[in-house]
Chains A and B, each alone.
Chain A
Amino acid sequence: MSEAGASEALIAGYRPLPGVYDEMVDAAGRVRPHWTAFVDRLAAEGQASLAQRFNAADRYLKDSGVYYRVYDDPTAGERQWPLSHVPLLISPQDWAAIEAGVIQRAKLIEAVLKDVYSGGRQLSALGLPASLIAGSPDFLRPLVQTDQPSPRQLHLYAVDIGRSPNGQWWVLRDRTQAPSGAGFALENRIALSRAMADVFRGFDVERLAPFFDALRVELASHRETDDAGVCLLTPGPLNETYFEHAYLARYLGLRLVEGIDLLVLGGSVYLRTVGGLRKVRVLLRRIDGDFADPLELNGRSRLGIPGLVQAALRGNVTLANGLGSGLAEARALLGFLPTLAEPLINERLTLPNVATWWCGQPAAREAVLESLGQRVIAPAYSRVAGGIPQGGPWVMPDLDGSQRETLRAAIERRGVDFVGQEMLKLSTMPVWVDGRLEPQPFTFRVFVAATADGYKVMPGGFALVGPHDLGAVSMQRGARSADVWVLSDGPVQQTTLIPSETQIVVRRAAGVLPSRAADNLFWLARYIERAEETLRLVRALAVRVSAERSEGLPGVGGIAELLVRWGAAPTDPHANPALIGLTALARSQFDGAVPALVAAARRAASVTRDRFPADAWRALEDLNAFLLSPETREIAEVAVLEKASTAIRLIAAVTGFQLETMNRQAGWRFVKLGLRIERALATCRFARQFARAQGGSRDELDLLLELNDCHITYRSRYPLGAAFAPVMDLVLLDESNPRSLLFQLSRLKGHVLALPLLPPTNRPSPALAVADRLHAIVSVLDPVKIRHDDILGIENGLMQLSDEISMSYFRVRDPFATEGEAS
């Protein structure tokens, strides 16, 4: 088939909906000029190859762990990011108009916000009804400052636009609170460009990287050299877009923090770090403004920072965006922006917004009520403020007579709560469905960053595309997202999404590590190591019970006893050892069982996603999935050995990635500390269980060597077989054995020594004295005379070491890290 023939075949079944603009083909069914090269390229690729490439993109997103959270379905939890593989192509001419239009709009909204938060004098003078502003739950009154100019409100702004049947782009919604999606746009682009690198290269598509560079430079311009850096304030892992927060933090080099990591003292914001308090001068805010300060805003918030409002008012912290910026998301404002443009920014808006009438004014209310049947009625403000009736938006043609009358009465009584909007028929773009292209309606989110260099618009963004036409296409309702390619007239400079070297100042000083992140990394390592030690026990047990007479075999009873004592299986005198092994491997209801330990590790890792290597996360997910799979949960006792061995291999992948790829700064130290403490504890417990000076069995000593992974070394040194003193020497005291107790203690000492000194007097943590003491005690132990009480003393010391590390570095509720001692 000729190339033209293939292209015709590709779009042969593609039928735009009547009366709707389609992005790819015109009303006569001809491919629009800026799409032809792309359609030809897709056609030339052939169906099978396309399917393969699209799968590769999906695989990339899955492997990167890109997800979002679905709120109304708690059982669904995290859902993989759904990518619609065909990008939206925007012609250079269209883009120029969009870019100019959204910059104008950003300027206008900034002017509106500035005036509102300095008392609203300009808007009052223009006769704007004050209730229009006062009705917004995001109008945060404590932020109003009439005696000084308000700082910049809008640093990152997004606009949802859509195209109407006549080809005109319209603004549907403004996103000014804490716009999400820039990170997802980046991931979409990376996924597609990996899967279709060669296709991509053939087109002059504007790159996204310069936009993110500009944003990074702008945010960093508000910090100072000695502070904690730019922090991204997230509500935490339960948020819908937490993945994006972690992703952006990592990509832009920001610190991902939650409210609990921050503290306001003397009107300034501080980050609690393992090295004490560090000032924070810039916050990229991803929690709603109202939730940011329980003291002066929403007292019910558990996410905020008490005193943040005062810090912001005093100008001690730059908030991006300003706490009250969500105000501009009000639909009510849409109807007024066009008329405010001339007086406020001396321009006429070139990009119109969807026709909107706020029913708080008598004339607009009458107009809406007269044409009620053809309108969409929506809440006037971004959040439903409790108007009667609840809910919305309401598409009037869908309502029955009595519903319409209820709404009519409510609008007549409290018009201030409602807007009427024109119903827009959104344009469609191609979506790949079951091996062919199909037109579906979409909205397009455009991002704007305010910088010292003027407004920068991300040339791209993401499109939300879904099978149903409504103004409210939403990820929450099963839409997919598509990449947006802004085509360039000329060749595009080949910049990469990886930051260029010239922009990065080389810094070797230890980074700032938030206390909570350190805490999570420490426990993550402890859980992983404990899971591994438990698996070693399960494997050793499985090896022994697979022999025919299980009960009589030496060691079996001891292993079962340890597993029960570790909480991996219930205390049941009649339980047979094989069942105990199975329970420890596959039953998540016991806290000490492997699935529960891995789940705990996963939780700790999930809140430090910005610091946790992506490969290690993937390995942890694999391990978790393996343990939770039906094949693992429903295994027969005979399969325990094989499954335990597989799980040990999977754990090795986690620890391998984690240790290899984490850079050796403070975070890595805490991982190592957790791992060493847990391994030392396990070694002690194994030794107490399986080594007895008198009357002990040689088989049990063999088991101890096996658990300690040193039987080969032992055999090469002592050909006569296991005996108490040499086994104790190798397992506990031989520093050349990387699983020995002394090896752990000497490493622990080194790591504790490298931890930050404690402010304000710069003294070392008490943990150092504990680590020193333990190391000294064990160094001089005589293997012949070791008693169980000695080992028990070491175990207690290890737990004390863990406590001291926690007290010195993790206690987030203690704000005295710098000043307490002095008072």
Chain B
Amino acid sequence: MIYDIRQTTSYAYGSFVPFAAHVLRLMPLSNAGLDVLECDMIIDPKPSEYAVTRDFFGNATTHVTLKAPHNRLVVESRSVVQLAVGPLIDPLTTPPWEAVRGAAHATPSLAPRSPAHQIFASKHVPIDAAFLDYAAPLFAPGRPILAAAIDLMTQIHTDFRYDPAATDVMTPARDAFAFRRGVCQDFAHIMIGCLRSLGLAAAYVSGYLRTHPLPGMPRLEGADAMHAWVSVWCGERAGWQDLDPTNAIRAGGGDHVPLAFGRDYSDVSPIDGVIFDSGRHSVSVAVDVTERAEA
């Protein structure tokens, strides 16, 4: 499947910002299952310093500095990616969750995709007794890891309401959990918190959903903006398996285009910045993900 992805993020500042430094994570990188065919970014106003690097987890990061006073910032990213969709792994064939936990704790690999990075509390995701109590009943002794994780995803989808008004990017996962509502970021943080509280490795994936559903399919929540879901480590063989608790579906079926991978939102946030200004600002994001007709 080939997708055309277009994202425009616009900031409007209350006053002129004399100086700003940003880190952007808006370009997909080719990896297993994803080929980036074209990729391009336009930043307005034109930055005075511009450098593209990779962060620890392998995400493409763009460092920009704006030295001229500006009262708006528009970042437009466009890419064409090819998604290889294969059959999804059968959850019941994955190892018992306790064994996977032991393997995650014991792995000697400190490489970017090692599960070792994904078992501890992170900036947005605490290890919490409430998470543990919520998830533990689903993890019966010996239950295959992916089956239990899918149960957890389904339980979250059932118990929580999708409500963009309930939270914002700074809402702690504990609060969203207590409210039982939130957006994709909250759903993902809560599910990661539950898995890590059990000692399991779970990562945060940001990306896109196809904007227009296939005929006869429901429109997915989060399709008009950037999306986020969870990647669960299921042992050396099955590796990372993606689950979308916002829509209660597995995220390897062709509707999800991954962009960045990390421990939580703070590792993958699309635009991080420090601006030297005290005024208010507003932001708007427009996303369009269209499937290209096969040639």
Contact = CB atoms under 8 A, between A and B. Distances in A.
Interface string A4-27: 000000000000000000000000
Contacts of A814: 18-19
Contacts of A307: 21, 63, 65
Contact of B126 (A133, A265, A386): A386
Interface string B46-70: 0011010001110000010101100
A332 B109 CA distance: 17
B273 interface: yes
Interface in B100-154: 102, 104-111, 114, 116-117, 119-121, 123, 126-129, 132
B40 interface: no
B276 interface: yes
A127 B120 contact: no
A266 B19 contact: no
Contact of B109 (A126, A130, A135): A130
A531 B157 CA distance: 65
Contacts of B18: 813-816
Given A120-B110, A296-B272, A816-B19, 10 more contacts: A123-B110, A129-B108, A131-B104, A134-B116, A135-B120, A141-B56, A299-B123, A386-B121, A413-B198, A417-B127
Interface residues of A, number: 49
A416 B108 contact: no
A603 interface: no
A120 B117 CA distance: 13
B184 to A, nearest CB: 20
A126 B108 CA distance: 8
Nearest to B126: A386
B197 interface: yes
B129 A119 contact: no
Contact of B108 (A119, A124, A142, A815): A124
B110 A819 contact: no
A295 B272 contact: yes
A310 interface: yes
Contacts of A134: 110, 114, 116-117, 119-120
Nearest to B129: A388
A298 B102 CA distance: 30
B295 interface: no
B222 to A, nearest CB: 23
A459 interface: no
Contacts of A298: 123
Interface in A117-153: 119-120, 123-131, 133-135, 141-142, 144
A295 to B, nearest CB: 5
Contacts of B68: 823
Given A141-B56, A144-B56, A816-B18, A116 B110 contact: yes
A813 B276 contact: yes
Contact of A816 (B63, B67, B110, B272): B67
Contacts of B273: 295
B12 interface: no
Interface in B169-201: 197-199
Interface string B266-277: 100000111010
Interface of A: 116, 119-120, 123-131, 133-135, 141-142, 144, 264-266, 294-296, 298-299, 306-307, 310, 360-362, 385-389, 413-417, 813-816, 819-820, 823
Contact of A362 (B102, B119, B272): B102
A129 B198 CA distance: 19
Given A123-B110, A130-B116, A387 B121 contact: yes
B91 to A, nearest CB: 23
Given A386-B127, A387-B121, A416-B199, A295 B114 contact: no
A130 B107 contact: yes
Nearest to B118: A134
Interface in B66-119: 67-68, 102, 104-111, 114, 116-117, 119
Nearest to A135: B120
A544 B210 CA distance: 85
Contacts of A120: 110
B23 interface: yes
B105 A415 contact: yes
Nearest to B67: A823
B21 A387 contact: no
A138 to B, nearest CB: 12
A496 B56 CA distance: 48
Given A306-B274, A414-B127, A127 B48 contact: no
B199 A414 contact: yes
B147 to A, nearest CB: 20
Which residue of B49, B120, B276 has the most chain A CB atoms within 10 A of its CB atom?
B120
Contacts of A360: 105
A130 B110 contact: yes
A130 B129 CA distance: 25
Contact of A265 (B55, B65, B276): B65
A815 B105 contact: no
Given A294-B274, A388-B128, A129 B19 contact: no
A441 B117 CA distance: 39
Contacts of A141: 55-57, 117
21 contacts: A128-B108, A133-B116, A134-B110, A134-B117, A141-B55, A144-B56, A294-B274, A295-B273, A296-B23, A307-B21, A310-B63, A385-B121, A386-B121, A386-B126, A386-B128, A387-B127, A416-B105, A416-B120, A815-B18, A816-B18, A820-B67
B157 to A, nearest CB: 25
A129 B106 contact: yes
Listed from nearest, the 5 A-B pairs whose CB atoms lie closest are A120-B110, A141-B56, A130-B116, A386-B121, A306-B274
Nearest to A126: B108
Interface string B247-267: 000000000000000000010
B108 A130 contact: yes
Contact of A815 (B111, B123, B276): B276
A579 to B, nearest CB: 40
B136 to A, nearest CB: 9
Contacts of A385: 120-121, 127
Contacts of B48: 823
Contacts of B108: 123-130
B98 to A, nearest CB: 10
Contact of B116 (A125, A129, A265): A129
A130 B274 contact: no
Contacts of A133: 110, 116
Nearest to A129: B106
